[in-house]
């Protein structure tokens, strides 16, 4: 492994890309410690300590802890992710965006531009909502989180948070273009990894206080290694459908005749189903936190609290539903079969057209099921570890899937650079496959 790292820094272009990526991630983390003007960060920290199981806690995860501290990057990259998801849904239901998606590079550029505009609009709306939210926030002793409330603070907050989100979006695009790996994903990963040192410190304190034995810690570490291996296995898992292309004679040239395959991933939807499911399952708790004097809402919150069997069952079913739903949006068997037919391709033993679409849909339904169950298991794992095993840190869920997926994707890009220059990659046997979602 150390030899491979040395080889990375022996290639000037790859070294420059890696250093550029690390430098921009450092810039992002520095900005994560600059508080929005006019906000008392200590009041926010006390407030968010009570919001771990709400939508605010989920949002703060993707913001890398910036929302909890009300930094200039408090919105993080979530407006960009939301805009990207909205544009993806538009491509499935609005003919204009569906046409753009099929126009190749030019269509992709227009969709990217619309995503940027959507990011700015969402940032303005969410920034104003956060400004109003901060003005109404008070600490346990009654002190206000905002020193000078009013329209001046609201406008300044909207400008600051919107500029912060646009800057983070620009950092991500620069990393993707001039660095190594997917910039947006790496920024999210950097925010998630930033909490790991504190988790390690909390674990050390728990051992010192006798709340966790060394033997229990070893068992948990072994379990973590096995689960990470399982995540890698599922993320890399594919079902390859063989495709044969018929020979075509155009002039004096012969085209086609070769064999290929369609790689269908076990987890095409990625982490999106968990994000959707978390938003839904946490919504009642968020409403109940805003109205603490309504007994009915408090009863629902108790039932839907992490660790309760209703919460685990409902959360798992929602994830399985959204896995199939989002997979159907991302991959359309009819379009896949039509494109294959136009290019002269066919699946051996299956008629082109409708039969091919039905065959692909049947296989997709089967391989999505284990992926959906695995997503549900990973999603409920951290809540079970915390509530049942008293583990003093958060392991699993969206954060684990994002970190593992992004690391695999980044290693794949590094490996491609090494192999292009006749170096061995990180994996001697086989290749790291790309990921979707």
431 near 425, Cβ under 8 Å?
Answer: yes
Give the whole-angstrom CA distance, residue 125 versus residue 435.
32
Q: Which of 223, 227, 221 is nearest to 207 (CA)?
A: 221
Residue 306's beta-bridge partner residues? none
219 near 385, Cβ under 8 Å?
Answer: no
Give me the torsion for CA of 372, 374, 378, 379, rounded to 10°.
Answer: 20
65 near 196, Cβ under 8 Å?
Answer: no
| 284 located within any domain | yes
| 231 located within any domain | yes
CA distances from 372 to 59, 227, 246, 262, 419 (A): 23, 16, 36, 20, 34
Q: What is the pLDDT of residue 436?
A: 46
Beta carbons within 8 Å of 339's beta carbon, 6+ residues apart: none
The token pair that represents 362 in the structure block? 């049947």
Q: Are residues 154 and 258 in the same domain?
A: no
105 near 7, Cβ under 8 Å?
Answer: no
Give the whole-angstrom CA distance, residue 246 versus residue 258.
8
Q: Are residues 371 and 240 in the same domain?
A: yes
Q: Are residues 158 and 228 in the same domain?
A: no
Q: Of 194, 212, 243, which residue constitutes the final position of a domain?
A: 194
Q: Are residues 244 and 371 in the same domain?
A: yes
Domain containing residue 9: CATH number: 1.10.3370.10
Q: What is the pLDDT of residue 20?
A: 92
Give the 3-state secondary structure of residue 190.
Answer: helix
| 62 located within any domain | yes
Give the whole-angstrom CA distance, residue 16 versus residue 108.
28
Q: Of 194, 210, 242, which residue constitutes the final position of a domain?
A: 194
Domain range for 135 is: 1-194
Give the whole-angstrom CA distance, residue 389 versus residue 212.
10
Give the whole-angstrom CA distance, residue 149 versus residue 240.
59
To which residue do tokens 């296989």 refer?
Answer: 363
Q: 58-89 in b/e burial notation, b at 16+ Cβ within 10 A?
A: bbbbbbbbbbbbbbbbbbbbbbbbbbbbebbe
| 211 located within any domain | no
10-residue mean pLDDT profile of the chain (437 residues): values are: 68 86 90 82 68 56 66 83 83 83 82 90 87 75 76 89 91 89 85 81 84 84 89 87 75 66 84 78 68 72 75 88 86 85 82 88 90 88 76 75 85 79 58 52
| 218 located within any domain | no
Q: Are residues 78 and 172 in the same domain?
A: yes
The token pair that represents 203 in the structure block? 């674990």
| 103 located within any domain | yes
Q: Are residues 167 and 310 in the same domain?
A: no
Give the whole-angstrom CA distance, residue 380 versus residue 163.
35
116 near 13, Cβ under 8 Å?
Answer: no
Q: What is the pLDDT of residue 170?
A: 92
Q: Are residues 147 and 236 in the same domain?
A: no
Q: Are residues 364 and 229 in the same domain?
A: yes
**Residue 104 exposed, middle or buried by CB count within 10 Å (0-12, 13-18, 19+):** exposed
316 near 380, Cβ under 8 Å?
Answer: yes
How are strands ordered across the β-sheet holding 238-245? 259-265, 238-245, 345-346
Give me the torsion for CA of 26, 29, 33, 36, rounded to 10°.
Answer: 110
Give me the torsion for CA of 9, 12, 13, 14, rounded to 10°.
Answer: -10
Question: What is the pTM for the complete model shown?
Answer: 0.75
Alpha helices (runs of H) in 291-353, residue ranges in sequence order: 295-303, 309-330, 333-342
Q: What is the pLDDT of residue 416?
A: 79
Q: What is the pLDDT of residue 145?
A: 75
Q: Of 194, 212, 245, which residue constitutes the final position of a domain?
A: 194
| 96 located within any domain | yes
Q: Are residues 172 and 73 in the same domain?
A: yes
Q: Are residues 107 and 150 in the same domain?
A: yes
Q: Are residues 262 and 184 in the same domain?
A: no
| 177 located within any domain | yes
Q: What is the pLDDT of residue 50?
A: 59
| Count of structural domains within the chain | 2
Q: Are residues 229 and 134 in the same domain?
A: no
């Amino acid at each position: 492994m150390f030899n491979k790292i040395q080889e990375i820094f022996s290639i000037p272009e790859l070294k420059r890309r890696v250093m550029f990526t690390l430098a921009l991630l450092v810039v992002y983390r520095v900005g994560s410690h600059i508080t929005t003007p006019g906000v008392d960060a200590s009041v926010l920290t006390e407030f968010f300590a009570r919001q771990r199981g709400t939508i605010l806690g989920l949002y703060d995860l993707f913001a890398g802890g910036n929302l909890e501290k009300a930094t200039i990057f408090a919105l993080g990259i979530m407006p960009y992710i939301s805009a990207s998801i909205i544009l993806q849904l538009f491509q499935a239901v609005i003919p204009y965006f569906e046409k753009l998606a099929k126009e190749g590079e030019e269509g992709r550029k227009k969709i990217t531009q619309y995503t940027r505009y959507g990011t700015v609009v969402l940032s303005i709306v969410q920034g104003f909502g956060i400004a109003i939210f901060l003005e109404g926030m008070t600490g346990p002793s009654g002190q206000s989180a905002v020193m000078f409330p009013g329209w001046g603070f609201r406008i300044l907050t909207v400008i600051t948070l919107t500029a912060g989100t646009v800057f983070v979006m620009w950092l991500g695009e620069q990393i993707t273009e001039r660095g190594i790996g997917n910039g947006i994903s790496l920024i999210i990963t950097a925010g998630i990894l930033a909490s790991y040192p504190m988790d390690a410190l909390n674990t050390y304190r728990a051992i010192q206080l006798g709340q966790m034995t060394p033997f229990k810690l070893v068992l948990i570490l072994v379990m973590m290694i096995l689960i990470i291996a399982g995540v890698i296995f599922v993320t890399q898992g594919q079902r390859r459908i063989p495709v044969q292309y018929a020979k075509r004679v155009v002039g004096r040239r012969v085209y086609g005749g070769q064999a290929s395959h369609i790689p269908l991933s076990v987890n095409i939807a990625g982490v999106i189903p968990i994000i959707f499911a978390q938003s839904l399952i946490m919504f009642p708790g968020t409403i109940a936190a805003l109205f603490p004097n309504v007994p009915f809402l408090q009863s629902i919150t108790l039932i839907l609290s992490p660790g309760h069997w209703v919460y685990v069952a409902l959360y798992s079913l929602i994830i399985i539903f959204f896995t199939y739903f989002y997979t159907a949006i991302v991959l359309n068997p009819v379009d896949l079969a039509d494109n294959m037919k136009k290019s002269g391709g066919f699946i051996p033993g299956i008629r082109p057209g409708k039969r091919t679409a039905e065959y692909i849909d049947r296989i997709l339904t089967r391989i999505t099921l284990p992926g959906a169950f695995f997503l549900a298991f990973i999603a409920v794992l951290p809540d079970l570890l915390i509530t049942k095993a008293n583990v003093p840190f958060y392991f699993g869920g969206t954060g684990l899937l994002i970190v593992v997926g992004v690391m695999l994707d980044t290693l794949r890009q590094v490996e491609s650079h090494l192999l292009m220059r006749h170096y061995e990659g990180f994996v001697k046997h086989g290749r790291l496959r790309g990921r979707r979602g």
